[in-house]
């Protein structure tokens, strides 16, 4: 007899009843914020459902409330292609940018007289794409590069404000929902308190904590950290716009021939506006931002943005701006997209938050390149949702420029909302008898003398055996963008170095389980996983290996470019500075540094050891770059561009055959200037160098804008 047949109808009905009761309670609690069921009752019903599913496992369904947390941790995450790309948004930095944006989209649709806008607070979290099939959650993925992301379905299920089943009687075959996962400030502070008590490194900010949580292999950890979620986009594959413009589905719904979602009320039709789609998301079981507003015109949008520039500090979560979308979905469809972003939406970014505090001491950190960075030890202050007690002072020249001294009252800001930095000193509040700060003459980690090259602002330790340099090099090598060795983080690296287990990167590949077991609090299973992860890293491509070596000025993008130009390590090692400089995007300083690195005997020995260990030092041949009007031209980027990140602009220039340099000289052909452009812009004007806006750059590159 079939096992399902052994389950009585009464049990099946009770299981279904329990699921509906629990789902309704979750909807009232997380979406409506109006719970009607006591926690004790919820727990009792949950345990009853859990008991029945344990007794009759054939009744377990993927959308059951008991299935939010997986029993087994994942071994790794897999890359998946998004069903619908996740586009980035154009950035605005004030009302003038908003007005320019409106003028641009009106050029595309000059006949549109009136237009309403939907404003939502821009949550400072991590974007997630959700896929529902027949109303059941089947996939959750990170944004990634917008085309592909990591599949994290089990972790997504652990977020209580994400429904496992849509609150619809007869849902469409496929529904795509986009939104932002985030941590409330209260939860973030609690997590950091717990990590501090456990002797673990603190999270820098809620956004980083959210990203780290979503990439946990064990969904139980995700459940414990209590992530939240706001939905902001509803999409149905095959329907245009955010949800739909005037399509065949719209016409059918308008004629009353079809109730798209099959709601029992018969009133749920395909929305025609962004506002209605948000309301539908809420009805489906999602939380949407409660501070959303429908604005009749741009003036109302500007008033909303101005209000929240101040009131955002009172929120229970982090927000760094406002997202503005045209309300009409038909107009969204008509305007469409540029190559990079939708024409019908824009993100207003707020300036970085600043706060005053007391500079209590100045210490120094030694980085992986030997750079000695002075650090301001501060009286703790709340800034951008986190408690800040340390901030970078960059280098000796910056300290001199600020004239900051122990005891000063300083203004602290988070650069890019991530790294705290001291931006100015309130000298009128300076106490008497303060002393000028002197940079150390010897490395605080190894005790060797430090040097400051005449052409650099940075003071460095040049002792290659310095423990601080080694720790930094190992951490960088194992980082996600390099060899991505799971389990080899700062804590383990510190143990390996401090216990003299590892003296160079290549030593990692000689580690075994027995050697790792000598470390404090290291278990056999953990040791086996670490050894396995190290061995798996041998398959990483030549570009990852090159980036992992930590050569100065060689970031992940430059590493990719170099390995295309020099498909083998031998070719790169034998290249002259002039040959490297001939690669688009590489100036004299960078090229010289790369050539010098490969000429160093210690580095040559490291490469040979890594080669013997089985690392990849060969890649694909260079791809020929089509000759363009800017082939060989040198660009310098300065300031904050309206829509492009610095790396994105650099990549576009390099793809077109141009070079990107770090400083302005007579050899510079163009300077691309954004907001808060400083000395580089001034020098360009002095030398008579052509200065471009972002729009002019895109036009020069032949990139589509509006």
Q: Enumerate residues 6+ apart whose C-beta is below 8 A from 342.
A: 87, 89, 332, 335, 336
> 196, 202 in Cβ contact below 8 A?
yes
> 569, 617 in Cβ contact below 8 A?
yes
> 184, 205 in Cβ contact below 8 A?
no
- ∠ Cα 403 405 409 (to 5°): 95
Identify which of 603, 682, 669, 604 has the alpha carbon closest to the alpha carbon of residue 633: 669
Q: What are the distances in angstroms from CA 134 to CA 164, 168, 171, 259?
A: 11, 10, 6, 15
Paired tokens of 182: 């985030």
Q: Enumerate residues 6+ apart whose C-beta is below 8 A from 589.
A: 553, 662
Report residue 423 CA to chain centroid gap.
25
> 393, 401 in Cβ contact below 8 A?
no
CB atoms within 10 A of CB 633: 18
SS (H, E, C) 5-40: HHCCHHHHHHHHHHHHHHHHHHHHHHHCCCCCCCHH
Question: Rg (Cα) of the chain, in Å, rounded?
Answer: 28
* Residue 260 DSSP code: T
Catalytic residue among 24, 81, 122, 633: 122
* Residue 256 DSSP code: T
> 692, 672 in Cβ contact below 8 A?
yes
- 122 a catalytic residue: yes
> 130, 179 in Cβ contact below 8 A?
yes
Identify which of 326, 328, 293 has the alpha carbon closest to the alpha carbon of residue 307: 293
Q: What are the distances in angstroms from CA 701 to CA 630, 651, 678?
A: 8, 11, 24
Phi, psi (deg, nearest 5) at residue 346:
-155, 155
- Positions marked catalytic: 122
């Amino acid at each position: 007899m079939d096992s399902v047949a052994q389950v009585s109808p009464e049990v099946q009905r009770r299981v279904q009843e329990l699921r509906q009761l629990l789902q309704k309670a979750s909807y009232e609690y997380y979406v409506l914020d109006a719970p009607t069921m006591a926690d004790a009752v919820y727990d009792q019903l949950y345990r009853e459902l859990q008991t029945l599913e344990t007794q009759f496992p054939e009744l377990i369904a993927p959308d059951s409330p008991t299935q939010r947390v997986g029993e087994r941790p994942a071994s790794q995450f897999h890359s998946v292609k998004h069903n619908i790309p996740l586009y980035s948004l154009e950035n605005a930095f004030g009302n003038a940018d908003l007005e320019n944006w409106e003028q641009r989209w009106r050029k595309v649709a000059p006949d549109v007289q009136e237009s309403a806008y939907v404003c939502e607070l821009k949550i400072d979290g991590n974007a997630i794409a959700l896929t529902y099939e027949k109303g059941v959650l089947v996939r959750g993925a990170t944004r990634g590069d917008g085309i592909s992301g990591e599949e994290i379905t089990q972790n997504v299920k652990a977020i209580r404000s994400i429904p496992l089943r849509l609150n619809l009687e007869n849902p469409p075959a496929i529904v795509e929902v986009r939104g932002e996962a985030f941590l409330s400030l209260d939860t973030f502070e609690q997590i950091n308190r717990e990590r501090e008590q456990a002797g673990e490194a603190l999270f820098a900010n809620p956004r980083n904590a959210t990203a780290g949580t979503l990439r946990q292999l064990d969904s139980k950890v995700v459940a414990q950290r209590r992530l939240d979620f706001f939905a902001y986009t509803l999409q149905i594959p095959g329907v245009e716009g955010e949800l739909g413009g005037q399509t065949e589905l719209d016409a059918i719904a308008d004629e009353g021939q079809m109730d798209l979602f099959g709601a029992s009320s018969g009133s749920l039709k395909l929305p025609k506006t962004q506002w209605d789609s948000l309301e539908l998301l809420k009805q489906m079981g999602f939380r949407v931002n409660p501070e959303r507003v429908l604005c009749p015109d741009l003036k109302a949008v500007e008033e909303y943005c101005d209000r929240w520039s101040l009131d955002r500090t009172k929120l229970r979560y982090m927000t760094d701006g406002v997202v503005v979308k045209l309300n009409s979905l038909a107009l969204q469809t008509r305007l469409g997209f540029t190559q990079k972003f939708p024409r019908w939406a824009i993100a207003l970014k707020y300036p970085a938050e600043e706060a005053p505090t007391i500079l209590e001491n100045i210490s120094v950190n030694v980085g992986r390149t030997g750079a000695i960075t002075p650090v301001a030890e501060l009286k703790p202050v709340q800034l951008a949702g986190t408690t800040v007690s340390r901030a970078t002072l960059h280098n000796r020249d910056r300290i001199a420029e600020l004239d900051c001294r122990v005891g000063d009252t300083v203004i602290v800001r988070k650069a890019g909302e991530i790294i705290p930095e001291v931006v100015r000193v309130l000298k009128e509040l300076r106490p008497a008898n303060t002393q000028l700060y002197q940079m150390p003459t010897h490395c605080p980690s190894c005790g060797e003398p430090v040097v400051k090259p005449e052409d650099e602002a940075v003071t460095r330790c040049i002792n290659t055996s310095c423990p601080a340099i080694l720790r930094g090099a190992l951490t960088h090598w194992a980082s996600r963008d390099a060899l991505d060795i799971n389990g080899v983080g700062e804590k383990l690296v510190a143990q390996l170095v401090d216990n003299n287990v590892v003296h160079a990167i290549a030593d990692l590949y000689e580690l075994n389980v027995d050697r790792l077991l000598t470390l404090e609090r290291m278990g056999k299973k953990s040791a086996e996983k670490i050894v396995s992860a190290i061995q798996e890293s041998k398959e990483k491509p030549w570009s990852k290996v090159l980036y992992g070596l930590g050569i100065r000025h060689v970031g992940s993008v430059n590493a990719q470019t170099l390995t295309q130009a020099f498909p083998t390590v031998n070719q790169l090692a034998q290249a002259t500075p002039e040959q490297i400089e001939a690669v688009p995007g590489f100036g004299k300083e960078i090229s010289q540094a790369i050539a010098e690195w490969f000429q160093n005997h210690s580095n040559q020995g490291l490469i040979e050891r890594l080669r013997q260990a089985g690392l990849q030092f060969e890649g694909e041949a260079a791809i020929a770059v089509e000759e363009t009007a800017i082939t060989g031209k040198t660009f310098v980027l300065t300031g904050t561009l309206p829509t492009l990140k610095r790396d994105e602009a650099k990549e576009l220039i390099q793809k077109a055959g141009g070079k990107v340099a770090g400083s302005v000289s007579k050899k510079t052909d163009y300077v691309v200037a954004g907001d808060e452009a400083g000395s580089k812009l001034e020098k360009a004007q002095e030398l008579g160098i052509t200065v471009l806006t972002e729009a002019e750059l895109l036009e020069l590159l032949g990139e589509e804008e509006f």
